[in-house]
Structure 1
Amino acid sequence: MSTARSRLAEINPSPSMFTMGPANHDHEAAARCAVSVFVPLMVVLLMDRIDLAIFVSFGAFTSIYGRNLLHADRLRMQLRAGGMMLVVLTLGTLGGRAGFTEAEMPWALVSATALVAGICSVLAGLWQMRPAGSLFQIFGFAAVASVPTQPPLLDALVATVLSIGFSLAVGLSSRMFSAKARTPLSRPTLAPLTRLQKQVVWVEGSWYVIAAGLAGSLATLLGPALGMQHSQWAMALLSTVLATSAGATHVDYGQLLYDRALETIIGALVGMACVMTPRAWRRWAKKSADPAVVQREP
């Protein structure tokens, strides 16, 4: 890519939405993710503890991180991702028990989720985690806090820890089954972030707070008028439905589909607006010789 095209891509990222990069051992990462999610879900299903499905599902998201890294680097990244998810799910279930739910304290739920979005985004950036951002942590906290019937706390934490541990084992499994793929478990090292990179991390964290807070606020405000009952989806999951179906609460699947579609649209529109706003600012800045100088008429 030429220098001109590189600069254009920085200003206008839209074309990248319609392109796909070359394959890079994608099937291996997909297989690890599938196994990490499928096995814990089958275990809780066979145990007739579908109320724990939401906890093992989010714990299994640990396997998403460090897809093509060496084993040592992947282990460190997944340990951090798993530890972060454990803290988030613990706070989510404690928040749900304290009333941070749509029915009781919807604005507390929106505020807490936005805070989780920003903090986890900053940590993910400083730790150079891939995938970046706090998407899964947002889902995890809001979904767990919104479960109407919380399982016993110890059961939830044990299920989460075991699911995370299984994901870590799956991430290292190729060392046992393939000598060719085996890499040493030496102490990994990461290049330190520059000052500019750290500034970008904090800016992105701020945008996560704005996006999650704005989406949740709009869904909460528009919910009564539009007949929506699950505003946390706009900040947008099946695990919540699984946990709900495990209790005595009646599940209106037509309402769920309606809420999912409408509130996903709200979240997507807010997200796109937050992405396009910095782009518009950069375009304006490039057109101005010195945007910091205010021109005054004589």
Structure 2
Amino acid sequence: MPPSADRRHAGRVLLGLLVPGLVLLGTGRPELMLYAVFGSFAGMYGRREGPAERLRHQFHGAGMLVTGVALGATLAATDAGSGVLLVAVTGFATLGSLVTDALRLRPGGPFFGIFALGATATVDPGLVGPLGAVLICATTATWCLALGLVARTPSASTPPDPSRSLPAGAGAQAARYALATAAAGLAGLVLGVDHANWAMTAAAVPLAIVTAGDPLDLRAVVERAGHRVAGTFAGLLVTAVVLLPEPRPAMLALVVMVLLFPTELFLSRHHGIALGFFTPLIMLMTELAAPAEPLGLLLARGVDTVLGVAAGVAAAALVPGRER
């Protein structure tokens, strides 16, 4: 059982989504839950930090998430093609890697921002305009920052790090993100799988275990990739159990909110277990925003995950770095 500090943090993250989620349900717009979920991810930063440092890291994380949603919603509204999306996600991943390394964000890397950009770019532009999408995401993120300010300070907090310079190896790590996301996106387009943006997002997962400035541990990258695949397929089984009976949108929205708690509870301790909850969360919020045939959606998610993690591991192996 995770310690009480982790349970309190996961509860805070859940509360960060619960309030805006219930507002969306009360106004009859559960299909907009996707934008609130991305805003709630801001609460995942600063897990074991004091209020000041937690606020700084959550603010920077919120900035990345809101930017991703703004770019994605704009691409959706302008009906940008898959080639434009591939270039946008690759560029965002590369720049995001440099920025998150400079800011020493934890969770590390631009994964959540990549996810926000790719997912919102593939939603029907008639669902909500770019301004509405950004407002939902930013308002939720602001609520999460407020919760972080009033939360109890952990007994062992991380001392503030005023440095903003790039750590050694940040350039190589950014190159890995560029190579991984571009290769995953291209593979998805060539193979014609649906939701190729999921492959690009999955490509970032094995790289998130790499900390710029530390020696490259390729074994850890492969292990993280294995956790991603195993956790995703376990989560797809859970998703099938929920989706196949065709529940009402309000029920799906409630399940999405509930799943955020165990996702965050296990995220820093066992990535595979966390993915068993995170995957259905992703799938259900996608189904709310863009309803699709369930079996096809599950198949696309599985294929994209395998493509993505393979690209991420390959990028880690190909781009030079100090070996552990």
TM class, shorter-chain normalised? Answer: 0.7 to 0.9
Cα gap change, 1:162/1:193 in structure 2, threshold over 3 Å: closer, same or farther? closer
Task: Report the Cα distance in structure 1 between the residues aligned to 2:162 and 2:136, rounded to whole angstroms.
Answer: 35
Which residue of structure 1 aligns with residue 73 of structure 2? 93
Show structure 2 runs of 5+ residues with no match. 202-281
Q: Report the residue type matching 1:49 in the other structure.
A: R
Q: Report the residue type matching 1:159 in the other structure.
A: I
Cα gap change, 1:217/1:40 in structure 2, threshold over 3 Å: closer, same or farther? same
Deviation at 1:96, TM superposition (A): 1.1
Task: Report the Cα distance in structure 1 between the residues aligned to 2:130 and 2:86, rounded to whole angstroms.
Answer: 23
Which residue of structure 2 aligns with residue 192 of structure 1? 163
Task: Report the Cα distance in structure 2 between the residues aligned to 1:65 and 1:127, rounded to whole angstroms.
Answer: 12
Three-state SS of the structure 1 residue aligned to 2:132 is helix
Per the normalisation by structure 2, the TM-score is 0.67
Show structure 1 runs of 5+ residues with no match. 1-21, 176-180, 246-250, 287-298
Higher Cα radius of gyration: 1
Task: Report the Cα distance in structure 1 between the residues aligned to 2:317 and 2:15, rounded to whole angstroms.
Answer: 36
Cα gap change, 1:259/1:80 in structure 2, threshold over 3 Å: closer, same or farther? same
Cα gap change, 1:78/1:111 in structure 2, threshold over 3 Å: closer, same or farther? same
- One of 41, 49, 55 as aligned partner of 2:29: 49
Task: Report the Cα distance in structure 2 between the residues aligned to 1:40 and 1:202, rounded to whole angstroms.
Answer: 38
Deviation at 1:95, TM superposition (A): 1.1
Task: Report the Cα distance in structure 1 between the residues aligned to 2:6 and 2:144, rounded to whole angstroms.
Answer: 17
Which residue of structure 1 aligns with residue 305 of structure 2? 264
Q: Report the residue type matching 2:182 in the other structure.
A: G
Deviation at 1:182, TM superposition (A): 8.3
- One of 119, 135, 152 as aligned partner of 2:111: 135
Per the normalisation by structure 1, the TM-score is 0.73
Which residue of structure 2 aligns with residue 243 of structure 1? 289
Does residue 229 (structure 1) correspond to residue 194 (structure 2)? The answer is yes
Task: Report the Cα distance in structure 2 between the residues aligned to 1:80 and 1:61, rounded to whole angstroms.
Answer: 12
CA-based RMSD of the aligned residues comes to 2.4
Which residue of structure 2 aligns with residue 216 of structure 1? 185
What pairs with 1:20-59 in structure 2 (closer than 5 Å)? 25-59=5-39
Identity %: 28
Cα gap change, 1:170/1:153 in structure 2, threshold over 3 Å: closer, same or farther? same
Three-state SS of the structure 1 residue aligned to 2:167 is helix
Task: Report if aligned partners of 2:49, 2:154 keep a CA contact under 8 Å in 1.
Answer: no
**Cα deviations by residue, 1:137-164 (Å, 9 ceiling, x for unpaired):** 1100000011023403332222112101
Deviation at 1:25, TM superposition (A): 2.8
Which residue of structure 1 aligns with residue 149 of structure 2? 172
Cα gap change, 1:93/1:126 in structure 2, threshold over 3 Å: closer, same or farther? same
Task: Report the Cα distance in structure 1 between the residues aligned to 2:290 and 2:150, rounded to whole angstroms.
Answer: 34
Task: Report if aligned partners of 2:199, 2:304 keep a CA contact under 8 Å in 1.
Answer: yes
Task: Report if aligned partners of 2:77, 2:129 keep a CA contact under 8 Å in 1.
Answer: no
Q: Report the residue type matching 1:230 in the other structure.
A: H
Deviation at 1:166, TM superposition (A): 1.0
Task: Report the Cα distance in structure 2 between the residues aligned to 1:25 and 1:200, rounded to whole angstroms.
Answer: 32
Deviation at 1:49, TM superposition (A): 1.2
Aligned length in residues: 238
Deviation at 1:38, TM superposition (A): 2.9
Which residue of structure 1 aligns with residue 223 of structure 2? none
Task: Report the Cα distance in structure 2 between the residues aligned to 1:243 and 1:232, rounded to whole angstroms.
Answer: 15
What pairs with 1:144-163 in structure 2 (closer than 5 Å)? 144-149=120-125, 150-163=127-140
